[in-house]
Amino acid sequence: MKSNKLIANLYLTNWFFCLLGISSAFFVVSFFFEFLFFYAQLFVALVFAYLFVDILILHASKSRIDAKRDLKEQLNLGEDNLVRLELTNNYNIPVHLMVKDELPYQFQIRDFERHLVVQTGETKEIKYHLHPVKRGEYTFGSLNVFIGTFLRMAQRRVRYSQDFSAKVYPSVRLMREFELKVFTNSNLSQGVKKVRVAGNAQEFEQIKPYVKGDDFRKINWKATSRKSELMVNQYQDERSQSVYSLIDKSRTMKMPFDGMTLLDHSINSSLVISNIALRKDDKIGLMTFSDKLGVHIKADKLGGQLRKILENLYRQKTRYNEANFEMLYYGVRQHIKGRSLLFLYSNFESVYAMERALPMLRKIAKLHLLVVIFFENTGLVEKANKRAENIDGIYVQTIAQKAVIEKQTIAAELKKYGINTILTTPEKLNVDTINKYLELKSRGLI
């Protein structure tokens, strides 16, 4: 980004006002000692002379400071994103700079300030990182540079109009990192990485006339009766399966962890698993829901599919309603044709909440290979494992242990009905999801 309009202002420094205060004290003392009056006048004259010289150096010269901000237009959610400030001194003397950058309001940083000394003709960089925890558009304001000389009497503020908007997307860096781990034989924390040979399953291609050697079990009797000759179904090896991410946007996904909501952690994970599945030659799709169906992207593996999913994930927001799993079931019936692998990101806080969703989950599991992903409350796990030191501690520990056991009960109940389940923490979400996907591939279930 280039520097645009410059707005310059003059500021007197604290050092100048300090010297002015000393001058005033000098005059007060001179009322009692008249011989000091001349020295007080001389001191004041020197202070203002230095001030005049300082202002002259800062403003009379055509030289200036060149400053610009450099960052990507696309920032990664939940990651440290690098921002570079580049400053060049075109003055004939070294200058002292104080840099204040106007950061987006989402970071709530109002005191960003850096100090540095830049020699004549020298270019220096200031590097810092921003850690966005919400998706959306982030607007950067102006870059303010306060320039001072060795006299330190005045500062010239130059405001560089660097208005710029960056979009915070689900973490692409995280996606590439896990892709590298999977495809370069790097170890994940658990799981297997066997890949089933493609072609074990078959999908319908066409109906053709029977020729000697065709499998008689594939004769299509309806087509035979219409054509008055033997017709057979021809199949081709199925080379890819459909993998969908189903993301719950209801109020339970608003719960925060490490500054991000469970929805944002789920969105990051769905992008990671979609990329891995695409690299494994599978088709990828997306569906979101809450009290009603949200976005639906049909599974495909054409170029641009991942970008399409990324753009739609960027726009997803939490809805403050209960999740409607019946609506999800009808959405799956209507939009997802053919047996697919479904990763359902949700969160059940009680057995009762799971039992309400269970009938619909069982129906979905009959049609597709369903994996339900929900989250442990790490805060409660810590309290459950913490040694109690008093009656209040015992009470808190008991309640926490009950909540932890309830989560484990939910997972056991889902598994009882043949539903694949991942009970995980947000920090282990990506690893656990990838390992489950690779496990199902190795077992030939998809």
Domain boundary, last residue among 237, 264, 290: 237
Residue 184 banded pLDDT, cuts 50, 70, 90: low
Which CATH number covers residue 301? Answer: 3.40.50.410
Do 142 and 264 have their domain in common? no
Model pLDDT for residues 70-123, shown as the tens digit of each residue: 998 889 988 899 999 999 998 888 889 999 999 998 898 888 899 999 998 899
* Buried-exposed string 97-133: b where 16+ CB fall within 10 A, e elsewhere: bebbbbbbeeeeeeeeeeeeebeeeeeeebeeebebb
Domain boundary, last residue among 219, 237, 255: 237
Cα 81 from Cα 429, distance rounded (Å): 22
Do 142 and 183 have their domain in common? no
In a domain, 302, yes or no: yes
pTM over 0.75: no
In a domain, 397, yes or no: yes
Do 231 and 305 have their domain in common? no
What pLDDT score does 33 carry?
74
Which CATH number covers residue 16? Answer: 2.60.40.10
Q: Which residues are CB-neighbours of 150 under 8 A, at least 6 positions away?
A: 93, 94, 96
In a domain, 426, yes or no: yes
In a domain, 143, yes or no: yes
In a domain, 1, yes or no: no
Do 136 and 259 have their domain in common? no
In a domain, 285, yes or no: yes
Do 320 and 336 have their domain in common? yes
Do 421 and 366 have their domain in common? yes
Do 314 and 355 have their domain in common? yes
Do 210 and 288 have their domain in common? no
Do 333 and 208 have their domain in common? no
In a domain, 330, yes or no: yes
How many domains would you assign to the chain? 3
Q: Domain of 278?
A: 172-197+240-442
Do 254 and 232 have their domain in common? no
In a domain, 320, yes or no: yes
DSSP letter string, 121-186: T-EEEEEEEE---S-EEEEE--EEEEEE-TT-SEEEEEEE---EEEEEES-HHHHHHHHHHHHTTP
Give me the mean pLDDT over the 180-190 stretch. 60
Residue 431 pLDDT exceeds 70? yes
Do 272 and 391 have their domain in common? yes
Residue 196 pLDDT exceeds 70? no
Model pLDDT for residues 238-258, shown as the tens digit of each residue: 557 899 999 999 998 998 887
Q: Decide: residue 210, CB within 10 A, 0-12 exposed, 13-18 middle, 19+ buried.
A: middle
Do 24 and 109 have their domain in common? yes
Model pLDDT for residues 321-336, shown as the tens digit of each residue: 889 999 999 999 999 9
